[in-house]
Each structure stands twice: as C-alpha cells, then as structure tokens.
Amino acid sequence: MSFRFALSSANVFLNIVAAIKEIVDEAAFKISPEGVSLRAIDETKMAMVDLMLQNHFFDEFECTEESLIGLNMSEFHKVLKNSIKRGRQLTVNLPSSEAGMLTIHITNGARITHNVPLIGIEYSELPTLKLETTARLVVETDSMKEAVEAVSRYHDNIIFTATPDEFTVEARSERGSAKYTLTQMELINLEVDEDLVRSAYSAEYLKKIFKHKKLSPTIFLEFSSDGPLRVKYPLEEGVAELNYYLAPRLYE
Amino acid sequence: MRFSELAEVMEKLEEITGRIEMTNILVKLFLETPPEIIDKVIYLLQGKLAPEYKGIELGIAEKMLIRSLSLSSGVPAKRLEELYKKYGDMGDVAYKIISSRRAATLLAFMGKTEEELSVEEVYNTLMKVAKATGPDSQSVKIRLIAGLFNKASPLEAKYLARIILGALRLGVADMTILDALAIAFAKTKDARPIVERAYNLTSDLGEIARIIAEKGVSALKEVRIQVGRPVRPMLAERLPTPEEILRKLGGVCAAEYKYDGERIQAHKKGDHVVLFSRKLEEISGHYPDAIEIVRRHVLAKEAIVEAEGVAVDPDTGEMLPFQELMHRRRKYGVKEAMEKYPVTLFFFDVLYVDGVDMTLKPYPERRAMLEKIIRVGDRARLATQKIVKSVEELEEFFELAISEGCEGLVCKSLSGNAIYQAGVRGFLWIKFKRSYQSKMIEPIDVVIVGAFHGRGRRAGTYGGLLVAVYDKEADMFRTVCKVGSGFKDDDLAKLPKMLEPYRIPHKHPRVDSKMEADVWFVPHFVIEIIGDEITVSPIHTAAMGRIKPGAGLAIRFPRFTGKYREDKGPEDATTVEELVEMYKAQLKKIG
C-alpha cells in the first residue's frame, strides 16, 4: 500500500472533505492508479455522497496498487481547516513515517506536516444508483441555498416541482406556506420530460447539500416524481465531481 | 438474532404481572438466544447498555429523539411534540409514526431490500450513540438513531424509543433474570445460589449470563471477587426493639454506629483507587479527598473496603447531617464543596485484602483485619463499635450514637457463620433506628457554662460551647448540647474576650455536667440556638430521668441563631420543664 498525490490548491481538498463530512462521519477514500474515489451512505440510508477525482485532476499522482484510507471526516476536517489557507499546496503520502497514519504536508514556503490516524472501516462496495430522471436542471448553488432557507421554516418536507417552464421549491403547513420560483430565465438550463415532475425531500439534508458554493458556483440537479435527487458539483468537467444522492419523502 | 424477536418478548412482558409467568418467558428467550449475545439481550431487557458501574449512558432526551424520528419519517418535529403531549409516551408516538410511513431510503432505489434489524445492530448502534463525542456528535447521534428507525417495524420502533429514553419499564428485576438463567442453563433451581453469588460478586448480569450460557453453571463457581468491580453490598434487616435484636443475635452482638453519610465501597490497587456508591455507581469524581484518604490510610497493596463517608465541620469536628454531603453530588464545584464539607471516612468492613477473599470470613475476623489495615487518622477512622450483652448496654450505646449525630446502630452477629453476604438483606446485620423523633420547631435560650478549644481555623478561639437549660426546681443549670455551628468569624473573634471575665478554673457548683469542658464559666451569658430535633441522650443532664431512666435530653445538630440574649439573665433561659414539654409536643412516630 503506497501512494502520493499533490494539489497546488489545498483549499480544494479542504472543501471536498467539508462536503463529505456533512453526510458521513467515518468513511474511506479508495486510492487506485485511476485516481481517488469515495462512495458512502449515511447512517439513515437516506443520503449518499459519491466523489470521483481522476488521477489527472492532481498536479502529481503516484499510485501502483489500490488502497483504502479510512478516516474520521470531522476530525480530518478540523485538522485541515486549521492549517489550510489560500495559496497553500497539499501533498498526501502513504506510507507515513508513523505506522497507521496518513501523512499530509501543507506548504507555502513553510511546511506543516500532519500525521492523521487511520481508522478501520468495514468497506462494502455500494451498488450504483441507476436513476431515470425526468427533470434535469443547472442552477446557481446560492439560489438553491436561498430557496431552501426561505421555505423550510414551514415544513421539513420540501417539495420540488419542475414543469417545462419553471422550477419551484415550496413547503406548506398549517402555519403557512412559501414558494420559491425560478423560471427558464433564472436557470442556466432546464430539461423536463413530462408536464409535471414533483418530489419531496428533507430540508435538513438539503441544507447540508446546498452549502458548498466553494466547490462549484453552479450545480446540476436531477430528479423524477417520487424518486431520489441527484446533486452534482462539477469540479473539473469529466475529470472530477462530487455527487449527492437523497432519498425522497413519500406520502401516504 | 432479529430485534423483532426481542421486541415481541418485551411486548409480552409488559402485559404480565406474575413473576412465574415472567420467568417462563425469559427462560424461553434465553434458550433461543445465541450465547455470544445473551449479555446484550439482558442489558437491553433492562433498558441499559452495560452494568451501572461502567457509567455508560445514552444521554438522549425527548427533544433529540423527536428530531431523529422526524428525520426518519419526514413528520415535522412540531407535530411529533403534539403527539407526544397527547400520548405521553414516545414509544406510542414512534409506533404510530412508523406505522404510517413508507420506506424512503436510497437502498430501495438500489434494488436492495433493507435488512431486518438485528439485536447486535441495535446494541452496537446505541453504543456508538453513547460514545459519540466532539463537535458534530449531536448530529451524528441523531443520524444513528434515525437510521435505526428507518429499518424498524412499528413494534420495534416503539421499544427502541423507550430503550433510548430510558423509559423501558418492563419490571424485569435482577432476581427474575437470575431465576430464569438458573432454570434455563442449569435445569435445576439448586443452581440458583451459585448464580446469585456470582452476580453479587461481579454486579454484572450480562457477564454472568454469558458465562453460564457458554460454559455452564460450573464455570460460575470460578467467578471471584475482583478489585475494580463493585460487590453488591450486604444489607441489614430491621427490628424495632433492642430486646428482639439481642435475642435474634444470640444475646450478644457488635453494635456499630450507623453514620448519617454515604456508604462508599473503595477499591484500591496500588495507588489507584475507585469508589462506588451503594447503588454501585462510580462516584470517584465526587470524592477526590476520599480517594486520597484510602490511598494513605489503607495499608494493603490491594483491598476492597467499605466505609461511611460523613461530612464533618472542619472548624468544630462535628458531624454534619447527610444533606450537607449531598452538595458533593454534582459535576461542578466539587473542589469548593470539598473544602466546605470535607469528608471523613468511617471504615466498617473489608471484603478483600491482597489475594484473600474476606467475604467468606466471619465478621470478627473481618473487623480484626480491618483494624490491622486501616491506619487511623483525623479523617480515617474505624466505625465506633462496642460488644454489647444487655438491653441496657445496647440502649445506652444507641442514645450515645444518636446524640453524636448518628442515625442509630447496626448490630452485627459475632457468630462463626457471619460471613459477608453480598447483595443480601439478612439478619446477620440488624439496624436499630429510632421509631420516634421529636422535631425542633422553635429556638431555645441557653446559658453558656463551658467551652472547648478550637483547632484548625479556630485555633486561638473556641471550637464549641457547652450550653445548659435552667432547672428551676433545683436552681441548677443542666447541659443540653455542645454547639459549634452558626458562629460567624466576628462571633468567634469576640467570644474569648467576652467570656473571659466569667472564666473559672473548675465547673461552677450550679452546673450539672457529665461532659468535661476545656474551660468553665460562671453561668451568665444567654444565647439562642436551634437544632434539628430534641433527642434522648445519656451524656447530657437536662431532664435526666424524666423521659427515660439514666438519660437526659439533648439538642441534635445544634446551631447558634446569631442572637445574643443580653436582655436575659441565666435564670431567664429556657427551663427543663419547657424542654420536656417541647419534646413531648413534637414527638412523632417515624420509619
């Protein structure tokens, strides 16, 4: 088990870890000659995060055989956050000088070295989620964050509705209701295969999912009626992306 | 093992009140349970994750459970709170909510069916919840619990909710579980004492269950007392009169003061000391000073000893009531409480010393060993003990104990079979407590007749005053208590000077006292005091023989109210007659 990879912007890596820790506390990166990936489902089995970083996404990448790197993501994030500032570079190494550790160097002139303990994780390959989506849109990350914040005070179930002309986010209860509308004009792209596509999702998860503008200012949304939601943060077209999947709320 | 099987048993147990029927259900459950998880099944049946002494708690309140259930079901927390108000039980709320929910996890869209909940998964997940720490731990706990609800059937959800909140009240007592274990794995009730003894020595039902289920009853005989594991305490029976107590104990017994404090079981291994409460919770954190006392005063490498921890006023050396000690029962401010209410340990038993299990030795041998291994000091003492052979002796010793602030006596059998019966309430130890109490509801005026030198912070002034009431008929002053509490620093500073003109080298002829004071005064100054109650006392002379032959009346836990009655002469103080009236007027049966 050995590998080494480097990124000229350490911030990118920090943002990726921040996005993962929203969903899973403990997870494993899979490092292979092709690149770095991670697919993990949260404890409730309602949300999943799927990361793919191909080897040429990195400035340097060396890996001869596959390894699994189990980490406590909250702890890992804390460690990185305190050392990473804009303009710093990052390298990640295994084996480390200390057994059972992952070595991380963060540099811009001075060099900070962290040895982070690896944790054992029962790893089982999650099956791919095959989605047949009928609504697909591209939207600004901030709009989605704003939409969920605006309507979620009325209910934890947030209803997404797409028609060929517009996309709405709404919530309703006895205490009132709110609706956030984005027309073709405000959306970067909108493709809807049916007259009306409607599904509900948990506000608690949507809030976690839409807060990563730093990963990408625009995101891809896909869903179908009463089907899971896919949110894609493109990092580099075709080379690196982070996807969230969220189970729908179903009504009786 | 599927969790649904356990939930079904829980449902059955809830409807049963008969112990035999309950035992039968448990026997069947235990036989169907794989031996390697029987400990988990037993902990869950009792709504816990581990024996008390390990201190593992879920720490989940209704609010957090509601958030988890809301996350799992999509039903807003507000609505769940309303339902909770309506039903009054989160178990019922969970049942209803999960009944009307359709599965909505990603697995359904992966072509995978959700596996059923297993006992192991429930236990391990709850353990993760209990151990989650750090900045994101709240949200981790909520997701872990929501994950369980997502997989649960309505019935499973009901019992999950109750277990998580610590509201599983099936009434499955330890003794019922022990019965069921003996029947299930030894096939005979004769094994019951072996099972019970193993439990009493380890205080861990789960572990006992695993040993008997995996290796059989003979393996339980190998279970030994162990330093670091609390032993279930031996308890005393109660009899109302000294006659009955002596008769039961064969005409002779060791009477020990029953201190009004907290029973502490101390485990010492080298310098490492752990303390357990009577309920076997670890209380080391409340008593750093007691740990230090055990470290220094228990002269054995390894030992398990029992002591009563009593709060003692550092200024006067007087024992304080139990409530004062309870200030120690908190997470914060232990240090302040430790200074204000330092604890003194009164050692009364020894269960284990350097490889020797003392529980099987008779009481006199244990007491002798205790005297050998305790280096007595100011704050490490042996429980005051006296061998008594008559009712009169027992009564007198009892009254002495009461007047010194104790609750009464524990009378212990001196016979050769008086072993330490862990976890048993029997007649080898018999409590002698008061059946009557005379509450003190108003203060009295007393005359200062003597004083005791102070120590510590009170060096140079008086640590306590000997005070008396007035016997009009005989024109005498008869003592009623020694009072040291309630004096402020100003009072203490001026007392010696104030009393100096009245100081005499011997007891004043009009003073009747059995107590030897350090300093005597002419009866002159009157002060106001109040106490918890008026008690019969062999050492104070007020109303001697009026309530009981050979005993007077005394004030228990007396304190100065702050009032100097300079307006009163010594003959204007409370009289013996008034004190007797107060005693009778307030006498109530207790216990």
pLDDT, tens only, B144-178: 999 999 889 999 999 999 999 988 888 888 889 99
Query: What is the pLDDT, as a whole number, of residue B8?
Result: 95
Same fold, A3-117 and A135-246: yes
- A88 with A106: CB under 8 angstroms? yes
Query: What is the pLDDT, as a whole number, of residue A222?
Result: 96
Tens digits of residue pLDDT in A102-112: 888 898 878 88
Q: Quick check: B103 pLDDT over 70?
A: no
- B80 with B93: CB under 8 angstroms? yes
Best probe of the B interface among A20, A26, A43, by most B CBs < 10 A, is A43
Query: What is the pLDDT, as a whole number, of residue A251?
Result: 61
Instruction: Give the pLDDT mean for B115-141.
Output: 89
Query: What is the pLDDT, as a whole number, of residue B124?
Result: 95
Where exactly are the structural domains of chain A? Answer: 3-117, 135-246
ipTM over 0.90: no
CATH code of the domain made up of A3-117? 3.70.10.10
Mean pLDDT of chain B: 90
Determine which of A85-89, A231-235, B264-268, B535-539 has the lowest per-residue pLDDT on average. Answer: A85-89
Q: Which CATH number fits domain B235-436: 1.10.1240.10, 3.30.470.30, 3.30.2310.20, 3.30.70.660?
A: 3.30.470.30
Rounded to a whole number of angstroms, the distance from the CA of B112 to the nearest CA of chain A is: 9
Query: What is the pLDDT, as a whole number, of residue B81?
Result: 92
Query: What is the pLDDT, as a whole number, of residue A127?
Result: 79
Element (H, E) at B29: helix B19-32
Query: What is the pLDDT, as a whole number, of residue A233?
Result: 96
Best probe of the A interface among B122, B138, B143, B144, by most A CBs < 10 A, is B143
Query: What is the pLDDT, as a whole number, of residue A85?
Result: 79
Indicate yes or no: CB of B105 within 8 angstroms of CB of A247: yes
Query: What is the pLDDT, as a whole number, of residue B503?
Result: 93
Indicate yes or no: CB of A252 within 8 angstroms of CB of B102: yes
Where exactly are the structural domains of chain B? Answer: 47-165, 235-436, 444-585
Residues in chain A: 252
Split at pLDDT 50, 70, 90, the class of B23 is: very high
- B318 with B484: CB under 8 angstroms? yes
Phi, psi of B268 (to 5 degrees): -120, 130
Instruction: Give the pLDDT mean for B52-63.
Output: 87
| Pair type for strands B385-388 and B235-238 | unpaired
Instruction: Indicate if B497 belongs to the active site.
Output: no
Name the fold adopted by A135-246. Answer: Proliferating Cell Nuclear Antigen (3.70.10)
Interface of A with B in 93-132 (CB under 8 A): 126-129, 131
Q: Which of chain B's residues have a Cβ under 8 Å away from the Cβ of A78? A: 135
Same fold, B47-165 and B235-436: no
Chain centroid to Cα B320, Å, comes to 16
Tens digits of residue pLDDT in A34-66: 999 999 998 888 999 999 999 999 999 999 888
Indicate yes or no: CB of A46 within 8 angstroms of CB of B134: no
Tens digits of residue pLDDT in B492-540: 888 899 999 999 999 999 999 999 999 999 999 999 999 888 998 889 9
- A9 with A106: CB under 8 angstroms? no
Distances (CA, A) of A84 to A67, A70, B218: 25, 21, 61
Instruction: Give the pLDDT mean for B426-441.
Output: 86
Distance CA B479, CA B446 (A): 9
Q: Which of chain B's residues have a Cβ under 8 Å away from the Cβ of A48? A: 106
Query: What is the pLDDT, as a whole number, of residue A252?
Result: 43
CB contact B152 to A (< 8 Å): no
Give percent of chain B above pLDDT 90. Answer: 62
Distance CA A69, CA A90 (A): 17
Tens digits of residue pLDDT in A143-165: 999 999 999 988 888 999 999 99
The residues that bridge with B308 in the sheet, in sequence order, are B263, B346
Instruction: Name which CATH class applies to B47-165.
Output: mainly alpha
Q: Quick check: B456 pLDDT over 80?
A: no
* Of B321 and B369, the one with more pLDDT: B369
Indicate yes or no: CB of B77 within 8 angstroms of CB of A156: yes
Q: Which of chain A's residues have a Cβ under 8 Å away from the Cβ of B72? A: 44
Instruction: Give the pLDDT mean for B84-103.
Output: 86
Q: Which of chain A's residues have a Cβ under 8 Å away from the Cβ of B102? A: 250, 252
Interface of B with A in 90-129 (CB under 8 A): 100-112, 114, 125
Query: What is the pLDDT, as a whole number, of residue B18?
Result: 85
Indicate yes or no: CB of B147 within 8 angstroms of CB of A42: yes
Instruction: Name the catalytic one among B258, B412, B433, B482.
Output: B258
Distance CA A249, CA B248 (A): 71
Give percent of chain A above pLDDT 90. Answer: 59
Indicate yes or no: CB of A204 within 8 angstroms of CB of B102: no
CB contact B391 to A (< 8 Å): no
Indicate yes or no: CB of A45 within 8 angstroms of CB of B111: no
Instruction: Give the pLDDT mean for B108-114.
Output: 78
Mean pLDDT of chain A: 90
Indicate yes or no: CB of B105 within 8 angstroms of CB of A48: no
Indicate yes or no: CB of A45 within 8 angstroms of CB of B107: yes
Query: What is the pLDDT, as a whole number, of residue B247?
Result: 95
Q: Quick check: A122 pLDDT over 80?
A: no
Distance CA A197, CA A70 (A): 39
Point out the residue among B70, B76, B106 whose CB comes nearest to the CB of A48: B106
Give percent of chain A above pLDDT 70. Answer: 97
Best probe of the B interface among A21, A25, A44, by most B CBs < 10 A, is A44
Query: What is the pLDDT, as a whole number, of residue B413?
Result: 96
- B316 with B354: CB under 8 angstroms? no
Tens digits of residue pLDDT in B292-342: 999 999 999 999 999 999 988 777 777 877 767 776 666 567 777 777 778
Instruction: Give the pLDDT mean for A21-37.
Output: 91
- B265 with B297: CB under 8 angstroms? no
Q: In CATH terms, is domain B444-585 a member of 3.20.20.70?
A: no
